[in-house]
Amino acid sequence: MPTFDVYENKNQAVRDAYAMLAANIQINNKQHKQQLIIVTSCNPQEGKTTLAINLSIALANSGFNVLLIDTDMRKPEKAKRLYQNVQMGLSDYINGRIELSEAIIKTNINHFSYLASGRHDPNPIALLSSSRFEGLVEKIRKDQALDYVIFDTPALTSVADGALVASKGDAALIVAKMGYTKTPDLKRVKEQLERMNVTILGVVLNKVKKLDYKVHYRSYDYFFDAEHFYNNEAFGKKEAQNKKETLSKRDGILS
């Protein structure tokens, strides 16, 4: 089976933000069993796919077995965040072309597997409302080897596909884009999920500018990489040594 290469963000502040999100989900999961998590948004282009990928990575890096399922069958394959000439996937499984074991791909990150949306289908609503998709959800829910299943769905206000998938989940994360997502849209999506009895874990504010982040979170400067820390530490030692030498020279002159 080929290995799917997933890009892992190297920005320490970003990685720590996703790690904190994953930790909060784990804490919440101890109180309420929530294995199937929906990642959705009000509108397209709000960053839900990026969040779904990075959340999956963060959970996998914590040792949990994670399956990410792309249920957006409308977006062109080459426009997808995880496009690597993947031909077969969810739509092919639902249509009976392949078995589930053939559709799920292992990635280069331990504990992280991926189920692509598959080849284009003219009627994704029919696929997602089919008994075969229902059976898939039940199968992965009963899979003891999986700790979390993350569904990357279409935006809830754009097409009905997202609602069909969301109705199968245990809990949902709503992704909002700073300066773009409107409050009325958020309220509408919240009400839509509540009508489906889906627990809302919260809203994740995405595409936050560095300056805005620093204004609201004073601890931003705490998130830097080890190399930066050690460079600063070495710089601090050098400054202290220079100051000591300057004081010694001054004391010598004064004496």
* pLDDT tens string 14-23: 788 888 889 8
CA distance 157 to 132: 25
pLDDT on residue 251: 52
Q: Which DSSP helix (H) or strand (E) runs through 124?
A: helix 124-128
The identity of residue 139, as a single letter, is K
Residues 22 and 62 in one domain: yes
Residues 135 and 175 in one domain: yes
pLDDT on residue 216: 53
| Helix and strand element counts for the chain (H, E) | 10, 8
Residues 130 and 202 in one domain: yes
Give the length of the chain.
255
Residues 25 and 75 in one domain: yes
- In sequence order, the β-bridge partners of residue 107 are 4
* Separation in Å, CA 79 to CA 82, 89, 113, 139: 9, 16, 20, 29
* Separation in Å, CA 116 to CA 58, 81, 102, 153: 19, 11, 11, 12
Residues 167 and 97 in one domain: yes
Top-confidence residue, 208 or 156: 156
pLDDT on residue 254: 40
**CATH code, 115:** 3.40.50.300
Whether residue 128 contacts residue 161, with contact meaning beta carbons closer than 8 Å, is answered with yes
pLDDT on residue 222: 45
Residues 188 and 247 in one domain: no
Residues 149 and 126 in one domain: yes
- In sequence order, the β-bridge partners of residue 106 are 3, 113
* Rg of the Cα atoms in the chain: 23
Asked whether the whole model's pTM tops 0.85, one would answer no
Top-confidence residue, 30 or 95: 95
Residues 177 and 68 in one domain: yes
Task: Read off the tokens for 71.
Answer: 């249920």
Residues 189 and 240 in one domain: no
| Total domains present in the chain | 2
CA distance 7 to 223: 20
- What is the extent of the structural domain holding 237? 226-254
Query: What sign does the CA torsion over 92, 94, 96, 100 have?
Result: positive
Residues 113 and 152 in one domain: yes
What would the pLDDT profile of 171-192 be if each residue is shown by its tens digit?
A: 999 999 988 999 999 999 999 9
pLDDT on residue 119: 87
pLDDT on residue 121: 87
CA distance 223 to 226: 10
Task: Read off the tokens for 8.
Answer: 């892992």
Angle, helices 12-31 vs 48-61, to 10°: value is: 70
Residues 241 and 185 in one domain: no
Top-confidence residue, 59 or 228: 59
What would the pLDDT profile of 193-252 be if each residue is shown by its tens digit?
A: 999 999 999 999 887 766 655 555 554 454 444 444 445 545 455 555 555 555 555 455
Residues 118 and 47 in one domain: yes
